[in-house]
Amino acid sequence: MSATGADGDATGLGVSDGAVGGHSGASGALMEVEHLRVLFPIKSGLVVDRTIGHVHAVDDVSFTLREGETLGIVGESGCGKTTLIRTLVRLLDPTAGVIRFRGEEITGRSRRQLQPVRRQMQMVFQDPQASLNPRKRVGQILATPLKLRGLAGDRIEAESRALLERVGLHAEHLGRFPHEFSGGQRQRIGVARALAVEPRLILLDEPVSALDVSIQAQVINLLEDLQEELHLSYVFVAHDLSVVRHESDRIAVMYLGKLMEVSPSEELYDKPIHPYTSFLLMAIPIPDPAENRARTRQVVTGEVPSPIDPPAGCRFHTRCPRASDLCREVEPQLTEYARGHLAACHHPQNVSPAEIAAARRSEATPLSAGAETPRLPVSSA
Ligand SMILES: Nc1ncnc2c1ncn2[C@@H]1O[C@H](COP(=O)(O)OP(=O)(O)OP(=O)(O)O)[C@@H](O)[C@H]1O
Ligand code: SF4
Ligand SMILES: [Mg+2]
């Protein structure tokens, strides 16, 4: 992957309980993340540069991504999705925590030491216009990563043509500049550039949200075909749950820098355990405007609190209809229910008392959590 945002790259990611995943090879884990934290300092003072606080962009996140898996990451704007995946590919340095890729720790590596690993992880960005250099022709854009892969000059053009065809473009597009393409075509170029270094993992940061709805499906179909053909893993970031439903094997729901729920995809839609996930599900637009309006009225309201001073206890308590005194005081642990379904909530929904009794604290539980185990649901679901 390119070390700079402008050169782009793509990867895939999944989230699981540490007990489910494991080291590369033996248990099929491609990436393991433990207690990852990314804090951005807030500076003040015109003369003396003082740190007066921190933005808690990613706060104690743990998961395992399996080989060949697509992990969806969803959450409202500002919850830390982009910061998380940029840190995974080491475009950003973590404040704390460990990232292992195929069993090797990459957290402490220098830029030079990272190079061989970075080629295996690429990012595709939300805005294809901004992520492609406007002064370079497509042929030049693709030549850079192909050279990085060690291809000789005479093979670069042939490989560039093959890459364009693989993403549904044509060889004659090599001589064009990015502005001479549609948005969907530009995103295809972004995908081709990511593929040029033969990555294992592509991290997709809202890859279709800037595209027309009709084009979104085409790009998603392309990504699915490529995954099957090239055995890629994806981490697929999106604002809303409708986009990642069919693409993801598992989905991780983020709120204010933390994982709230991680679940096999279909189960998350059928039986969300965390109230925040229900909130996101209710926010998915539906075609009937009257039904949409009626449903929107039930949606949890209120602003997302500041990530500079996140609420104590459960970070969602200021907006949660089920919040209790316990929620305001004690941070809930990420707890594993049946079928690898994890949620961090004192009053979980859609689980029976027997399932709560059988649940266990996840390996991925927040370091800062107290010793509280989930309580019985406030109302049975
Ligand atoms: N370089 C930075 N310096 C300071 N704060 C930052 C920086 N980058 C991001 N942040 C803050 O970190 C938090 C998480 O931002 P991030 O871009 O990761 O969110 P996001 O979930 O990707 O949002 P969106 O859905 O809008 O893309 C936000 O509060 C943001 O303002
Ligand atoms: S822990 Fe409490 S406040 Fe947080 S989501 Fe669960 S019920 Fe709501
Ligand atoms: Mg983002």
The pLDDT value given to residue 293: 67
pLDDT at site 218: 93
Q: Which atom of ligand 1 is nearest to the CA of 84?
A: 18
- Confidence class for position 27, pLDDT limits 50, 70, 90: low
Q: pLDDT higher for 355 or 377?
A: 355
**Among 134-148, 185-199, 299-313, which is the least confidently predicted range?**
299-313
Asked if 244 and 342 sit in the same domain, the reply is no
The answer, yes or no, to whether residue 77 has pLDDT greater than 90, is yes
Interacting residues of 284 by C-beta distance below 8 A, sequence separation 6+: 240, 241, 242
Please check whether residues 144 and 289 belong to one and the same domain.
Answer: no
Query: Of ligand 2's atoms, which has the minimum distance to the CA of residue 378?
Result: 7
Last residue of a domain, one of 201, 224, 255: 255
Q: How far is the CA of 245 from the centre of ligand 2 (A)?
A: 24
- Cα distances from 335 to residues 17, 65, 71, 167, in angstroms, run 9, 18, 19, 40
CA distance linking residue 320 with residue 316, whole number of Å: 6
Burial 198-212 (b: 16+ CB within 10 A, else e): ebbbbbbbbbbebbe
Chain segment 141-156, per-residue pLDDT in tens: 999 999 988 898 889 9
Residue-level pLDDT at 292: 65
What is the pLDDT, as a whole number, of residue 184?
Answer: 93
34 and 115 part of one domain: yes
- pLDDT-above-90 percentage for the chain: 66
Determine the atom of ligand 2 nearest the C-alpha atom of 328.
3
Output the pTM of the full model.
0.88
In the chain the first and final C-alpha atoms are separated, in Å, by 45
Average pLDDT, the chain: 85
Q: Each residue of 83-114: pLDDT tens digit?
A: 999 999 999 999 999 999 999 999 988 888 89
CA of 374 to the centre of ligand 2 (A): 10
Whether 14 and 133 share a structural domain: yes
Report the range of poorest mean pLDDT among 129-133, 262-266, 275-279, 360-364: 360-364
pLDDT of residue 129: 83
Look-up: residue for tokens 């790009």?
219
User: Is 245 in the same domain as 276?
Assistant: no
pLDDT above 50: residue 371 = no
Local confidence band at 51 (pLDDT 50, 70, 90 cut-offs)? confident
Is 145 among the domain residues? Answer: yes
Residue 240 pLDDT grade (very low, low, confident, very high; cuts 50, 70, 90)? confident
What number does the ligand 2 atom closest to the CA of 348 have?
A: 6
The verdict on the CB of residue 253 being under 6 Å from ligand 2 is no
Mutate to test the pocket of ligand 2, among 256, 278, 324, 327 (most ligand atoms within 8 A of CB): 327
Q: Among the atoms of ligand 2, which is closest to the Cα of residue 324?
A: 2
Does any ligand 2 atom lie closer than 6 A to the CB of residue 279?
no
CB-ligand 1 contact for 57 (6 Å cutoff): yes
Q: Kindly state whether residues 354 and 230 are assigned to the same domain.
A: no
CATH number for the domain that contains residue 244: 3.40.50.300
Q: Do both 118 and 227 map to the same domain?
A: yes
pLDDT tens track for 308-341? 999 999 999 999 999 999 999 999 989 999 988 9
The answer, yes or no, to whether residue 11 has pLDDT greater than 70, is no
In this structure, the residue with its CA closest to atom 20 of ligand 1 is 78
Residue 381 domain-assigned (yes or no): no
Q: How confident is residue 10, by pLDDT bands cut at 50, 70 and 90?
A: very low
Among 229, 255, 281, the domain boundary falls at: 255
Q: Compute the distance from residue 362 Cα to the ligand 3 centre, in Å.
A: 27
Determine the distance separating the centroid of ligand 1 and the alpha carbon of 79, expressed in angstroms: 7
Radius of gyration of the chain from Cα atoms? Answer: 21
- What confidence score (pLDDT) does residue 349 get? 96
Phi/psi for 347 (5° steps) reads -125, 70
pLDDT at residue 26 above 60? Answer: no
Does residue 12 lie within any of the structural domains? yes
pLDDT at 15 over 90: no
Q: Is the pLDDT of residue 285 over 70?
A: yes
Q: Is residue 182 situated within a structural domain?
A: yes
pLDDT of residue 301: 67
**Domain final position from 189, 224, 255:** 255
Q: Is the CB of 190 under 6 A from ligand 1?
A: no
Q: Token pair of 140, please?
A: 């030049």
Structural domain count, the chain? 2
Does 47 have pLDDT greater than 70? no
Q: Whose CA is nearest to atom 16 of ligand 1?
A: 80
- Look at residue 256 in the predicted model and tell me its pLDDT: 97
- State whether 251 and 356 are in the same domain: no
Q: Do 313 and 183 lie in a common domain?
A: no
Q: Is the pLDDT of residue 234 over 70?
A: yes
Q: Is residue 371 part of a domain?
A: no
Residues 58 and 178 in one domain: yes
- Which domain covers residue 293, as residue numbers? 271-361
On whether both 114 and 201 belong to a single domain, the answer is: yes
- The answer to whether the CB of 269 is under 6 A from ligand 1 is no
Q: Which is the closest atom of ligand 2 to the Cα of 276?
A: 5
Residue type, 57: A
pLDDT at 61: 96
Which ligand 2 atom sits nearest the alpha carbon of residue 346?
A: 1
pLDDT value at residue 2: 33
At 248, give phi and psi (nearest 5°): -95, 140
360 Cα: distance to centroid of ligand 2 (angstroms) = 18
Question: How are beta strands 201-205 and 233-238 bridged, if at all?
Answer: parallel
Residue 349 and residue 278 in contact, taking contact as beta carbons nearer than 8 Å: yes
Ligand 2 near 345 CB (within 6 A):
yes
Residue 131 in any domain: the answer is: yes
Mutate to test the pocket of ligand 1, among 36, 52, 54, 55 (most ligand atoms within 8 A of CB): 55
Among residues 234, 267, 271, 274, the alpha carbon closest in space to that of 253 is found at 274
Q: Which ligand is nearest to the CA of 370?
A: 2
Q: How far apart are CA 154 and CA 176, in angstroms?
A: 20
Whether ligand 2 lies within 6 angstroms of the CB of 254 is answered as: no
Is the minimum distance from the CB of 186 to ligand 2 under 6 angstroms? no
| pLDDT above 90 for 7 | no
Looking at the structure, do residues 159 and 275 belong to the same domain, yes or no?
no
Structure tokens at 57: 């962009």
Asked if the structure places residue 97 within a domain, the reply is: yes
The span from the CA of 42 to the CA of 51, in Å, is 5
Q: Would residue 78 count as lying in a domain?
A: yes
Please state which of the ranges 5-9, 156-160, 164-168 shows the lowest mean pLDDT.
5-9
